[in-house]
């Protein structure tokens, strides 16, 4: 395997510092001379690394001002089960939820199938907008069985339901089944996300399972495509010779 060029190693180091928050979004990168000293490399290597990151849209060069860390899309790894707050933790931003609905209702036939319960069983329906600072990132609708979470409250859903399930209920979240669909947003969703209804968004439908295979939630999330990118690694099946 070919050795990674030095400028790419430096680019990766800069990415790591952005990821840990040492180089924060919206702030200027250290000067070229400071980067040369920090990484013990030549000016040419630093310039190549910065050029790569600028061309990838991770940094922004401003004439006469310097090079700045751009706000990047969250890499939504569909193989990693993480909460909303965990996905945005690298930005050290303020995470909050605005609850639009918190209701108990009978499960429809479709929702009963999604949650693997009986039609008419009582379920929670929660609708909320998730914010990073003052930016609405996603609109989320969640359905959960009341039998599984009789003590679920409005206050819990203002924070992290995963934290409630794992730390307060002592349950183990195992996996989720996810379906991702590009759609044009309904007007209500577009208004909540602050976008034009003609701008495509991503709808993600999720069914979450505990370690004992029981279904603990069904949810629909509506994401602005400007904030998220979805990635996966596909391996080609090996055929016998």
The structural domains of the chain, with segments of one domain joined by +, span 6-69, 74-230
DSSP code at position 158: T
pLDDT score for 5: 87
pLDDT score for 1: 46
Q: Is the pTM of this model over 0.85?
A: no
Please give the average per-residue pLDDT across 64-84, as a whole number: 67
For helices 32-39 and 43-55, the axis angle rounded to 10 degrees is 110
CA atoms within a 13 Å half-sphere pointing along the CA-CB vector of 164: 16
In this structure, are residues 81 and 70 in contact, taking their beta carbons and an 8 Å threshold? no
Pick the CATH number of 6-69 from 3.40.50.300, 1.10.10.10, 1.10.1450.10, 2.40.160.20: 1.10.10.10
pLDDT score for 73: 55
Beta bridge partners of 133: none
Of residues 90, 94, 96, the one with CA closest to residue 159: 96
How sure is the predictor about 99, in pLDDT bands with cuts at 50, 70 and 90? Answer: very high
How sure is the predictor about 48, in pLDDT bands with cuts at 50, 70 and 90? Answer: very high
Of residues 15, 154, 173, the one with CA closest to residue 82: 173
Which runs of consecutive H residues, i.e. helices, occur in 40-83? 43-55
Average pLDDT, the chain: 86
Q: How far apart are the first and last CA of the chain?
A: 25
Pick the CATH number of 74-230 from 3.40.1410.10, 3.30.200.20, 3.20.20.110, 3.90.1150.10: 3.40.1410.10
Please give the average per-residue pLDDT across 194-214, as a whole number: 93
Sheet holding 215-224, edge to edge: 95-106, 122-132, 135-145, 215-224, 201-210, 173-183
Tell me which of 66-80, 129-143, 150-164, 186-200 is least confident. 66-80
127-167 pLDDT, tens digit per residue, is: 999 988 888 989 999 999 999 999 999 999 998 899 999 99
Q: For residue 84, is pLDDT > 90?
A: no
6-69 and 74-230, same CATH topology = no
How sure is the predictor about 15, in pLDDT bands with cuts at 50, 70 and 90? Answer: confident
pLDDT score for 70: 79
């Amino acid at each position: 395997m070919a050795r990674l060029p030095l400028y790419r190693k430096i680019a990766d180091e800069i990415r790591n510092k952005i990821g840990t928050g040492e180089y924060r979004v919206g702030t200027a990168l250290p000067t070229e001379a400071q980067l040369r000293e920090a990484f013990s490399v030549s000016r040419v290597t630093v310039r190549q690394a910065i050029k790569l990151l600028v061309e990838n849209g991770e940094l922004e060069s401003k004439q006469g001002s310097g090079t700045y860390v751009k706000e990047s899309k969250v890499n939504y790894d569909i193989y990693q089960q993480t909460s909303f707050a965990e996905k945005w933790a690298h930005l050290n931003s303020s995470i909050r939820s605005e609850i639009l609905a918190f209701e108990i209702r009978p499960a429809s036939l479709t929702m009963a199938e999604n949650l693997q319960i009986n039609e008419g069983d009582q379920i929670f329906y929660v609708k909320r907008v998730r914010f990073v600072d003052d930016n609405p990132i996603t609109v989320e609708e969640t359905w959960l069985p009341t039998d599984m979470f009789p003590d679920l409250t409005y206050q819990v859903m203002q924070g992290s339901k995963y934290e409630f399930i794992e730390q307060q209920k002592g349950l183990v979240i195992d996996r989720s089944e996810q379906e991702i669909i590009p759609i044009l947003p309904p007007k209500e969703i577009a208004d909540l996300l602050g976008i034009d209804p003609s701008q495509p968004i991503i709808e993600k439908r999720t069914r979450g399972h505990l370690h004992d295979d029981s279904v603990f939630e069904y949810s629909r999330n509506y994401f602005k495509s400007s904030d998220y990118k979805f990635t996966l690694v596909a391996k080609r099946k090996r055929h016998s010779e």
